Chain A
Amino acid sequence: DSGVTQTPKHLITATGQRVTLRCSPRSGDLSVYWYQQSLDQGLQFLIQYYNGEERAKGNILERFSAQQFPDLHSELNLSSLELGDSALYFCASSAAPGRERDGYTFGSGTRLTVV
């Protein structure tokens, strides 16, 4: 157990629908990162939050949004889902910006299947 909790583990939904993925960071970590991993691909950075505020954006579609709550858990919202959105979505946490050298800790991911 890495200490980063992601729910649900699996999600199957239809095109056009909206889903919410949840992440609880490791205890004490303030930063949360979301990554998308398509089949046999690397991890594409989506977005980063630190202590409730957005810090960095990567290749995140406009149909996707995220937020980090006061208790530091984060949610990734995916809307108007398309078949190509099927992927593994990982959340990672780290202590604070500037301490990324302490490393990221990844959760086990949410496997999203859009049918």
Chain B
Amino acid sequence: GESVGLHLPTLSVQEGDNSIINCAYSNSASDYFIWYKQESGKGPQFIIDIRSNMDKRQGQRVTVLLNKTVKHLSLQIAATQPGDSAVYFCAENRYQGAQKLVFGQGTRLTINP
């Protein structure tokens, strides 16, 4: 089915280290990408987004990088904290008759003390 792919389903890092979560997308016409964080028992929560005319965007402790040449997206989390433990999804904004977000499978990030 349609999906935005992720390289790794799980990622474990030490508290305080930086985390990098990767995502590959297939539709070169997609113009907008979003990273969501989903904690257990909750709905996805917006983290950061990037438009296709940009290659980098920074937020608070998070940075998203977009490489359109290889259709790759990454989320960098600096100085990870226990509260960063969650599943992270990238989503791709596609137009297929109407705009809709297509989500990847997700990467589970675990922070080790």
Please give the residue numbers on chain A whose beta carbons come within 8 Å of chain B beta carbons, in ascending order: 2, 4, 33, 35, 40-45, 48, 55-56, 58-59, 90, 92, 97-98, 100-101, 103-109
Known interface pairs A55-B98, A97-B99, A103-B34. Does A90 touch B105 (Cβ–Cβ under 8 Å)? no
Minimum C-beta distance from A75 to chain B (A):
18
Q: Are B43 and A48 in contact (CB under 8 A)?
A: no
Interface contacts (Cβ under 8 Å), in number, total 66
Roughly how many angstroms separate A103 CA and B103 CA in the complex, as a whole number?
Answer: 13
- The segment from B53-61, B68-76, B77-85, B89-97 found at the interface with A is B89-97
Point out the residue from A44, A56, A92, A103 that lies within 8 Å of B1, measured CB to CB: A44
Which residues does B use to contact A, with CB under 8 Å? 1, 3, 32, 34, 36, 41-46, 49, 51, 89, 93, 96-106
Given A55-B98, A107-B43, 17 more A-B residue pairs with CB atoms under 8 Å apart are A33-B101, A40-B106, A42-B89, A42-B104, A44-B103, A45-B100, A56-B98, A97-B98, A100-B99, A100-B101, A101-B49, A101-B51, A103-B34, A104-B34, A104-B101, A105-B46, A106-B36
Give A54 to B84 CA distance when docked, in angstroms.
36
The answer on a CB contact under 8 Å between B99 and A58 is: no
| A45 near B101: Cβ-Cβ < 8 Å | yes
> In the complex, which residues of chain A have a beta carbon less than 8 angstroms from the beta carbon of B41?
108
A41 and B105 form a contact (CB under 8 A) = yes
Chain B residues touching A, majority SS: strand
Q: Which residues of B contact A103 (CB under 8 A)?
A: 34, 46, 49
Write the nearest CB–CB distance from A40 to chain B, whole angstroms.
Answer: 8
Chain B residue with the shortest CB-CB distance to A44: B1
Q: Report Cα–Cα, A45/B91, bound state, in Å.
A: 11
Distance between B40 CB and nearest chain A CB, rounded to angstroms:
11
Is the pair B100, A48 in contact by a Cβ cutoff of 8 Å? yes
